[in-house]
Structure 1
Amino acid sequence: MNLVMVVHGPEVFDAGDVERLIGLLSPRRVLVAGVMARTAAEESGLSVICTDERPSVVLAALSGRACLVNRGKTPKSGRIFGEIVAGRLPGLVHVETSSGTVYRWNRGDRDLAEEIVRRTGYDLVHAKSTGDRGDGVREIRGCIPGEAVFVNGIVIGTATAETVILSGENGALRVVSGLDPKPHGLEKLLRAGLPEIRKAWCKSGPVRSAPPRQGERASRTGRVAVIDHCGHALYREIGEDVCGVLAVGDDTTAVCGHICSHSGIPVFGVVDGDADTIVKPGYAPGSVVVEVQDGRDDDIGWELAASRDLDPSSWEEWVEETLRILAGRVRIVVDRRGE
């Protein structure tokens, strides 16, 4: 078919969809978009190329035949995701494995869509996207009430409706409807820089439902990478020169622990107990997570990042000295030292 598959999200790997579609479609390349998708892809052992870009950016840069492969948490959310991506492209063929559907968005490649349907047995649906709103308002659709809502990788609250509406105006982010806001999360987002809400990365729900797979222990010497409430930026930081990660924030620690579990990189996490349970936990040997007894994880995280040597001779010695510095101010909630 001389096809490029652009794969989004971890579930499509965890469910075995990518492996099956590779067998059916024989793509010449498989490109992976998304942080947790990269983790699931690496765990799968399949021959793929991981990117740091969004699916729409990856697809827009391609010439020739290409399709988007996705498994939404529900068929409805999968369709909504495809519509969002299609709204940023002239046309799109979208393979949605949660429902066994091939969507031909905005008069995308008809021959390609029909060939994929023939090979997979999926249903073909011709659809048209509405495109992005242009009034500084962002709708996050397909939410399940009670699940976490993210903007640029930071949890800003809990969904109370199927659609969360946000507005970026006058240098502030305003919740219009559908969200029980998390003030600490909004503060972190604004501290990182107010995003242009129409272009921000927004999602809802867990970032991955499958547990991580344990990898081999990484190098015990090297640099300590600091990840402060931006777990989605982790892959840009964990090169071969990294011996461990200082993660600041409950959800950031969970994401870093999950990703680094497969990579074999230990994590020193600083949390304060406001986790949103966005990913199944997992930590590489040598990891420690401490909970702040009085105050916020931000304050101790900043203190450690500013005062501790981040180029230690030994990860184990760095952890022990850090625990001595924090004695009486934190309690250990995860301890994988000596493993």
Structure 2
Amino acid sequence: MNSPTADFVMVVHGPEAFDAGDVERLIGLLAPQRVLVAGVMGRTAAEESGLPATCTDERPSAVFDTLNGRTYLVNRGKTPESGRIFGEIIAGRLESKRGLVHVECSNRTVYCWDRTDDALAGEIAERTGFVLVRETSARARPEGVREVRGCLPGEAVFVNGIVIGTATEETVVLTSEGGTLRAVSGLDPKPHGFEKLLRAGLPDLDTAWCKSGPVRRVPPGRGERTFRGGRVAVIDHCGHTLYREIGEGVCGVLAIGDDTTAVCGHICSHAGIPVFGVVDGDADAIVKPGYAPGSVVVEVTCGRDDDVGREVAATRGLTPPCWEAWVEETLRTLAGRVRIVVDRREGNDAMRRV
């Protein structure tokens, strides 16, 4: 296909555009030279789709700031309004101030944010049949205040990959003052979540990754297992860092925390890597569950998942010759302090929950 958009770069955010088939359709219509994927679950969905794409851990605004050519964002928000808000946020963060062409699949709209490439936006709208809309992003925000907009009441709210509470309004307002972080409005806070977040230091609200809602709505794919022994990667309440850790030679993942275990189980199911998860039962249902064969999840019956998980990381060797033997020995060391809630070891049901 000889397309005027063939020299352009498509930047896809999140898994929804892949899971809904938007990316495949847009590649067929626009024939971009390259497809870049921003976001952890976006990478998982991209790899499962089999479409040609390059994945990055960088946030979309950082990706656009490194590209010199003509580019456009593809997104599917959980609602049309949340999709529009996301585009506005990205446009407002661009250091180049060059504007943004934003293809929002949830309502079939091409947004022209600020001083953007009108010719490119018009070409995309013509080829896709999407409506063309011009918008201006809001750049000014009070210092030390962050609004998480487009929330649905009842859904989880994240800061830097950690759930800090449940939305009670469409906008959650956070502030950092006096060396700590607090919710001003719109949030039913999760104190343990704030504790986990602040353990790494007070986040910069101007640059923190904030979102609400599930990280992916579809079940994970199933991949082939590669290593039976090797290195155990440790992921402690930061599931969004997983791809940095599961490189060559990883035979399994020790995941600490309910939501972290869910995210690691989902991604590692696709990668064929078993997970040993340590949880304490306060999961926020942020992702469809799934675990590769060989996985075990234990719930702490005395104490907290933080403490037990770090004990395992500190006292159990993390370069076992055999993952199954490592799991068996780890379970023996935790006897009487945990109960198995997911068991995908050989000989058990596909995903036995006790």
Q: TM-score, normalised by structure 2?
A: 0.95
2:324 — aligned with what?
316
1:119 — aligned with what?
127
Q: CA deviation at 1:134?
A: 4.0
| Structure-to-structure mapping, 1:298-309, within 5 angstroms | 298-309=306-317
Q: 1:28 to 1:224 in 2, by over 3 A?
A: same
Moved more, 156-165 or 168-177: 168-177
- Give 1:201's match in structure 2, choosing from 182, 193, 209: 209
2:350 — aligned with what?
none
- C-alpha distance in 2 between matches for 1:184 and 1:300: 15
- Give 2:177's match in structure 1, choosing from 169, 174, 199: 169
Q: List, as ranges, runs of 4+ consecutive aligned residues in structure 1 with deviation greater than 3 Å.
A: none
- Give 1:51's match in structure 2, choosing from 53, 56, 64: 56
- C-alpha distance in 2 between matches for 1:102 and 1:38: 23
Percent identical among aligned pairs is: 76
2:163 — aligned with what?
155
Q: CA deviation at 1:131?
A: 1.6
Question: What is the RMSD of the two structures over their aligned residues, measured on CA atoms?
Answer: 0.7
Local SS of the residue matching 1:108:
coil
Map Cα deviations across residues 113-143 of structure 1 (whole Å, 9 max, x no partner).
Answer: 0000010000000000002514110000000
Q: Which amino acid is the alignment partner of residue 81 of structure 1?
A: F
Local SS of the residue matching 2:93:
coil
Local SS of the residue matching 2:242:
helix
Q: CA deviation at 1:193?
A: 1.6
Contact 1:72/1:98 (<8 A) preserved: yes
1:181 — aligned with what?
189
| Structure-to-structure mapping, 1:196-235, within 5 angstroms | 196-235=204-243
1:236 — aligned with what?
244
State how many pairs are aligned: 339
- Structure 2: give runs of 5+ residues left out of the alignment: 348-354
- Structure 1: give runs of 5+ residues left out of the alignment: none
Contact 1:107/1:126 (<8 A) preserved: no
| Structure-to-structure mapping, 1:1-339, within 5 angstroms | 1=5, 2-89=7-94, 90=97, 91-338=99-346
Q: CA deviation at 1:107?
A: 2.0
Map Cα deviations across residues 220-270 of structure 1 (whole Å, 9 max, x no partner).
Answer: 111000000000000000001100000000000000000000000000000
Map Cα deviations across residues 9-53 of structure 1 (whole Å, 9 max, x no partner).
Answer: 100000000000000000000000000000000000001000010
Q: CA deviation at 1:335?
A: 0.5
Local SS of the residue matching 1:87:
helix
- C-alpha distance in 1 between matches for 2:178 and 2:217: 37
- C-alpha distance in 2 between matches for 1:229 and 1:42: 24
